[in-house]
Structure 1
């Protein structure tokens, strides 16, 4: 009854269906790995030694937590002390208005730090009260910055401005908003510098309203994961459904029965 599966038409359809399922499953698995990275999911391991109280993590090189500009900041890395070495790009310095520190309104001073690897890290050198003005100049030459990793800002982050700002100002700190302003890629997230110049205040480690800025991204990746697995299941279901229909039609023809309907897919 299923001998038609060996015909060239069905062999080709079967190969294409299997290929589509494999691709969908691979993409779903890849999205699942991105969800785990964004959510900071770690797989449990068995230890034979007794656990000891956690100690504050020492400053780590930025590249150890973010190997490249495509790496995503995880919840485990959020707020971690990092060091980054490079050269400040003062020509592309940006002011981020409508930011509150210690209950006062002001603005961040963001200066991209070009690393030796090529990408830049967004360094907030400090906060100043009032409307955007003229901040202290960025140091020249190679510098090493120590600061805390912060999550990308989002549209619902308190103080974030979607647009309509003058040149030299930025509404939200994220690679998506910087891509058209900088001629080079940037790392995910940003660094709040610990040591700031005179006239600026160090930005405290804070979490944007509504979460740490990673939850929405993590669940977006989870949604894509389910979507790709659903596509894989749909392809398999349609192949089985069409094969079953053709088998039933072949059986009816063998019994001399004429179907009262015509399936355009099988014609």
Structure 2
């Protein structure tokens, strides 16, 4: 049997079968990876910046389509009402809380020419006395991304109140009370480019908008198809090897000498 299994013809069959199994398994795993990747969030189309007034009207609310959009907004900063958002990292996806290297977001109200106020996060500083806290004067143009108002319980609960001039969240509901009479627009703008006339400040990282993916079931079917092909290849290999072994046994039985005439079977 071993001589049959290792005959040149079957050795070639073994090698071809192994190559087919490896190839079909890899192809099936690749299609499975494509299937899994299809469900992960992926980047949305990121249009060029537009004027914030075209996306957010006075008294209007941010929508799912406008959140994360790049915008430009012009106006004059109100230095007397600037706030520091306490215990923040330079990343909008990190919630508030006492963590190592936490600092402050510079939250400055921008008075708009058409009336009302836009909340602008100008950047991040490590300490409250950083020179970048100084607010630039005069007319400025800010380029950034629109972000939704944070829930009032976004930051961790504190055992003691924050010092004057500091807040825990960038909540429109809170800012309406702090900046009374300012006509605060919904949400806030995170500056993604240096504000002209301001001291250098570390930008707050805000990722480009993403959208949820959906499973592409066709790729899962392709993966199953490749693995079925691999199983079929094993079946065919077994079929050919079995036939070869049976044929060898038949040939061996045909080559055996016939018993002598008249001889008893036990002779």
TM-score by length of 1: 0.52
| 1:152 CA drift (Å) | 0.8
Question: 2 CA distance for matches of 1:146 and 1:111?
Answer: 14
Question: Which residue in 1 is equivalent to 2:191?
Answer: 193
Q: Report the count of equivalent residues.
A: 153
Question: 2 CA distance for matches of 1:184 and 1:162?
Answer: 30
Q: 101, 105, 116: which is aligned to 1:104? A: 101
Matches within 5 A, 1:44-55: 55=45
1:133 aligns with 2:129: yes
Q: 142, 147, 152: which is aligned to 2:144? A: 147
Matches within 5 A, 1:175-186: 175-182=172-179, 183-186=181-184
Q: Please list the CA deviations of residues 112-170 of structure 1 after superposition, one character each: whole Å capped at 9, or x if unmatched.
A: 000011111001110012x4334422221111111111111113425586982111111
Matches within 5 A, 1:20-99: 55-68=45-58, 70-99=59-88
Q: Please list the CA deviations of residues 10-52 of structure 1 after superposition, one character each: whole Å capped at 9, or x if unmatched.
A: xxxxxxxxxxxxxxxxxxxxxxxxxxxxxxxxxxxxxxxxxxx
Larger RCO (alpha carbons 8 Å, 6+ apart): 2
CA distance 1:162–1:170, shift in 2 (3 Å): farther
Q: Please list the CA deviations of residues 178-235 of structure 1 after superposition, one character each: whole Å capped at 9, or x if unmatched.
A: 122213111111011122344521111169xxxxxxxxxxxxxxxxxxxxxxxxxxxx
Moved more, 174-183 or 58-67: 174-183
Question: 1 CA distance for matches of 2:161 and 2:53?
Answer: 34
Q: Please list the CA deviations of residues 38-94 of structure 1 after superposition, one character each: whole Å capped at 9, or x if unmatched.
A: xxxxxxxxxxxxxxxx752010111111011x2111111111100111111011111
- When Rg is computed on C-alpha atoms for both structures, the one with the higher figure is 2
Question: Which residue in 1 is equivalent to 2:233?
Answer: none
Question: 2 CA distance for matches of 1:143 and 1:162?
Answer: 38
Unaligned 5+ segments in structure 2 are 1-43, 92-99, 209-267
SS of structure 1 residue aligned to 2:173: helix
Question: 2 CA distance for matches of 1:124 and 1:193?
Answer: 6
Question: 2 CA distance for matches of 1:203 and 1:159?
Answer: 20
Unaligned 5+ segments in structure 1 are 1-53, 208-267
Is residue 106–residue 128 contact of structure 1 (8 Å, CA) maintained in 2?
A: yes
Question: 2 CA distance for matches of 1:174 and 1:162?
Answer: 20
Question: Which residue in 2 is equivalent to 1:204?
Answer: 205
Question: 2 CA distance for matches of 1:99 and 1:162?
Answer: 17
TM-score by length of 2: 0.52
Question: Which residue in 2 is equivalent to 1:221?
Answer: none
1:116 aligns with 2:105: no
